[in-house]
Amino acid sequence: MLLLAFQAFLLPLLLLQPRLILSTSETTTSSGHAIPYPAFEHFNVKETIAAETNIRAPYEYNELSADEQENKTWKLHLVHRDKLSFAWLNDHRRRFESRMKRDVKRVASLIRRLKISGAGGGGGGRKASYEVDDFGSEVISGMDQGSGEYFVRIGIGSPARSQYMVIDSGSDIVWVQCQPCSQCYHQSDPVFDPAGSASFAGVSCSSLVCGRVENSGCHAGRCKYEVAYGDGSYTKGTLALETLTIGHTEVQNVAIGCGHMNQGMFVGAAGLLGLGGGSMSLVGQLGGQTGGAFSYCLVSRGTDSFGTLEFGRSVLPIGAAWVPLLRNPRAPSFYYIGLSGLGVGGMQIPISEDIFRLTELGDGGVVMDTGTAVTRLPTAAYLAFRDTFLAETANLPRAPSVSIFDTCYDLSGFVTVRVPTISFFLSGGPIVTLPARNFLIPVDERGTFCFAFAPSPSGLSIIGNIQQEGIQISFDGANGFVGFGPNVC
């Protein structure tokens, strides 16, 4: 049994519930192939410290293999920023501190966006149009090291110029830094020059595409855009239609922002690949070509492998646990799911489901976000969750709080420890159960581990990428479902 527990520990397996049929025969899936996961596991402390804190050479981004080129033309390699040479820090504590600083800013940004979108009532608060003076105004950035957690490499223009792009499931625009660049941050590749692309075409102010951009304006007949992020970072420029190369598939006439003034953004990356639920995201624009479907697997920390990002209905897995996607008119780019409760050691904690509910006014709810690292929960839910975990780990020595974490342990004297697994009880029945590596993370090389959850500064819950690591997560936007598993990475 102990051997089985160790084998199970290596993969974030899912406790899935009975068969669920989606609303179209194309995406009929079954979640009946459940892989049992124990309520408690033997967590290998020394192995985890070695894997996650040892100094490793930066990851070199490789092109798809011949088999991947033939069979998965819409597939991209997905890499965490800490593995790339232009964002690499060889000290684990510095990497951890930088990630937590980015995370706090990210959460504040999401909450600020929700407040602004609701400021006018009924989903209002949007500025109808911008004059050229608005686009020339200065914005002070609060970011020193940039944000963005996961990167892909795509081709832009004709001929295609390869660029690193940050993926963001909470954003609805694709943009890249462009020449002439009056203000640009440093990126690892040469800044994209539209003059060298045969497929670049500016967008007129009167076009339907321009009207779909939330913060659009007009200057000299050309459509202007501006995106300001909650941390003070921004991109401003012109809207254009351009060819993108995703894997080995060329996609023509994708509306992208060509940023001539950018500050404080994603260090090393050329721009951002928005994967949100709105019409201007890459997923929204691909539309019928991919059926509004995509899937990603965020590779677990401390490994030498890479994750994947794939598009198209053919990538939707059979055997996943499918739950409905919820929509918030105040934040159409966010992917909400229903959460009915939390579990520790196989037992559900007595918390009211209402604490996770998305209200009719667009408050609260649970968002899946690739840009947030640490899962945030409403304070009352977090305290009950944390206290239950503390009770089940009372035999482990405590350590002082670190950064945003108030529950830490000194495991320096242990090779392995017995800890409870934790579970998300999803609305409709499925249960996602995570192993310890998805919520006990080392914050230094000495053996200090912290419980990787934090209270939310608002009623919004956010499922972060640490908790998503290693699990195949699929979005069927056309039918309104999100799937968990069954594959792992």
Q: Which one from 103, 168, 172, 231 is the annotated catalytic residue?
A: 168
Q: How far is CA 276 from CA 140, 170, 184, 339, 427, in A?
A: 26, 5, 25, 20, 22
SS3 content of the chain, % helix, strand, coil (to 5): 20, 35, 45
| DSSP class of 84 | B
Please provide residue 157's backbone torsions phi and psi, each rounded to the nearest 5 degrees.
Answer: 90, 180
Active site residue 168: yes
β-bridge pairing 249-263 and 174-177: parallel
Would you call 395 exposed, middle or buried from its count of C-beta atoms within 10 A (0-12, 13-18, 19+)? exposed
Catalytic residue among 82, 172, 231, 369: 369
* Residue 283 DSSP one-character state: H
Question: Cα separation of 325 and 367, whole Å?
Answer: 10
SS3 per-residue string spanning 181-219: CCECCCECCCCECHHHCCCCEECECCCHHHHHCCCEEEE
Confirm if 293 and 480 have CB atoms less than 8 A apart: no
- The span from the CA of 342 to the CA of 237, in Å, is 44
Residue 79: how many CB atoms within 10 A of its CB?
23
Q: Is 150 helix (H, G, I), strand (E, B) or coil?
A: strand
Query: Residue 79: in which H helix or E strand, if any?
Result: strand 75-80
Q: Name the residue with tokens 């890249």.
A: 176
* Distance between CA atoms of residues 320 and 471, nearest Å: 10
Q: How far apart are CA 278 and CA 275, in angstroms?
A: 8
List strand residue ranges (DSSP E) for 316-439, in order: 321-326, 335-337, 339-344, 347-348, 366-368, 375-377, 398-399, 408-410, 416-420, 422-426, 431-434
Backbone angles phi and psi of 477, in degrees to 5: -65, -35
How far, in Å, CA of 469 to CA of 449, rounded? 17
| Strand residues in 183-312 grouped as ranges (E) | 201-202, 216-219, 222-228, 234-246, 249-263, 271-274, 293-297, 307-311
Catalytic residues: 168, 369
